Structure 1
Amino acid sequence: MTLPVEGCTFAFFGGGQVDELIIDNLIAKYANITYIAVEPAAEELSKFKDLVEYKSDKWCNVTFDFQKITIEKYLEKNGEKQFGMVVVSNSAYHFKHLEDTTMKLYNCLVKGGMLYFTMGDGGWTKLSVKVGEYYCSSNLNFIGIQAIEDIFKRRLPYVKYQTKCREYWIDVTNCFDEESQSGSYKLDFFTQIYKFRETCKPEIKEQLLNYLRDECCKKDSNILLLNANKKDLIILRD
């Protein structure tokens, strides 16, 4: 991976898990790196700061700028800045204006720059999209990585991009056991609906659980496994 400018990176992330691998690769190629970390949740930003402190010796040539702010607010204040790389790790779910913000991030890149998305794919994403047919939220987009691909196919049909899928499976058998508290927690997490079992209308709950079982999972003996793949989307600016 060769970027057109010396390691100027823009990140929007959770606790820095994805960014750690990226930074480790960048420091092997660039003498000095500026890494701007944008995250509105103080707890998540704190996790990344702890990681930076832990790896301070290895990351001594990286200058970090921590911004406790939403991506939209950051772009409003810094719309003229350009970057060699923009990292969007599991964050597009929370974009207030999905298409507009995605294109603004692309336009932040210098020529030859890289825009990197990592998001869910597979059965979990299928379930999320299905949930979005019944629920809407001003703070959450019920989407997967395909929604980002579709934006670029529509807006920039000749843009260069590549994808990579990583396969994961999660045992969700207890999601179908009404007495299982662990299953309830999983359903809340997968659907992003607090107390899903208690608050969801019975007819909608039945449809979503049937969809989860029949369309999003595979059966292995008596175990139901949810396909929770991750997919990376890398877009290069001409």
Structure 2
Amino acid sequence: MAGMAKVGRLIKYSVERYLAGFTSFAAAFETRKDISDRSYESLVPDTLPCEPGTDLRVLGIGSGSGGADCVILKKLLQRHDSVYNRVIDPSEDMIKQYKALVREDSSLGAVKFDWRQQTAEEYFQTKEDTKFNLIHAIHVLYNVEDHDATLRNMWEQLADGGYMMIAMESDKRGMGKLWYKLWEEFGQGDRLKTELRTSGDVRQWLDTRNISYVTSVNERNINVAECFHEHSKEGSVLLDFLTKTAYVTDVPEIKSMALKYIRSNSSVVDDKIIFQSSIETILAIKN
């Protein structure tokens, strides 16, 4: 069946649909974005080892609109005089938003930005030999071509004593569990070749290599009531984003399974249906 083939392949199937879903998802947040972004602060180490007299070097894979990145940079500036921050993002629009944030925030004056409009794959193919003290990927690993290769490349560019920080949907509840359920029933091929990747996949990658790490989980509430309104365009693209699958409403079996799962794992508050997105942030150290 055609619908089954695209389960977990939203961005590949339609970037337009993905962006519409992302916008709808952001609008459905009950947790304020700035509070959500600040959740990464607690895991950023107070100080990072770097060679005396050099800038602390940070590599950000995928920037979103820069909110979480700025939180991380500000935390680092509390203990380090200057930071060199290389930003890798394929989206011109996201880089523009990030640059606008930086312009408005004078506290980031000691950061030297190096903007690279590239995918992670394009960037790593350039075989840059700069080593970084912190490399982070916040909500990015769903969309890279090769999950394992990206983690390996990130790890290779990390300086000794440096940290790798990754934030992803948790495999243990909410949206992440919905993805596993969808895959169980409708998935085809290798799940790691789709967008249905979770923090569990990152932990497994690290465990296999005996790399030590710490984790922290942050809950975000999403009002998914629109998904249950029969002809809501907003609800339709939101359901696409929640399932990482394009035009879910056109595939009755997938739609009904997803809505049933969401309904039974949500709480109803007034006219809102609150579903959870659990973000697990993983911090691994290169000894």
TM-score, normalising length from structure 1? 0.88
CA displacement 1:138-183 (0-9 Å, x = unmatched): 98521121111111112x22x2211111112222233223133432
**How many Å apart are 1:9 and its aligned residue?**
0.2
Match of 1:102 in 2: 151
1:230 maps to 2:279: yes
Which residues of structure 2 form unaligned runs of 5+?
A: 1-45
Match of 1:118 in 2: 167
Match of 2:202 in 1: 148
Match of 1:2 in 2: 47
Whether the 8 Å contact between 1:96 and 1:138 is mirrored in structure 2 is no
Among 175, 181, 184, which residue is 2:236 paired with? 184
**How many Å apart are 1:18 and its aligned residue?**
0.6
Which residues of structure 1 form unaligned runs of 5+?
A: none
Instruction: Give the CA RMSD over aligned residues.
Output: 2.2
Match of 2:253 in 1: 203
Tell which deviates more after alignment, 218-227 or 181-190: 218-227
**How many Å apart are 1:189 and its aligned residue?**
2.1
Whether the 8 Å contact between 1:120 and 1:228 is mirrored in structure 2 is yes
Aligned-partner Cα distance in 2 for 1:41–1:222: 36
Match of 2:140 in 1: 91
**How many Å apart are 1:192 and its aligned residue?**
2.7
Q: How many percent identity over aligned positions?
A: 22
Q: Which has the higher helix share?
A: 2
Aligned-partner Cα distance in 1 for 2:109–2:254: 52
Matches within 5 A, 1:157-172: 157=210, 159-172=211-224
**How many Å apart are 1:20 and its aligned residue?**
0.9
> Relative contact order (C-alpha < 8 Å, sep 6+): which is higher?
2
Whether the 8 Å contact between 1:4 and 1:110 is mirrored in structure 2 is no
Secondary structure of 2:142's aligned partner: helix
Whether the 8 Å contact between 2:137 and 2:165 is mirrored in structure 1 is yes
**How many Å apart are 1:233 and its aligned residue?**
0.6
Secondary structure of 1:87's aligned partner: strand
Match of 1:194 in 2: 246
Among 33, 38, 41, which residue is 2:88 paired with? 38
TM-score, normalising length from structure 2? 0.74
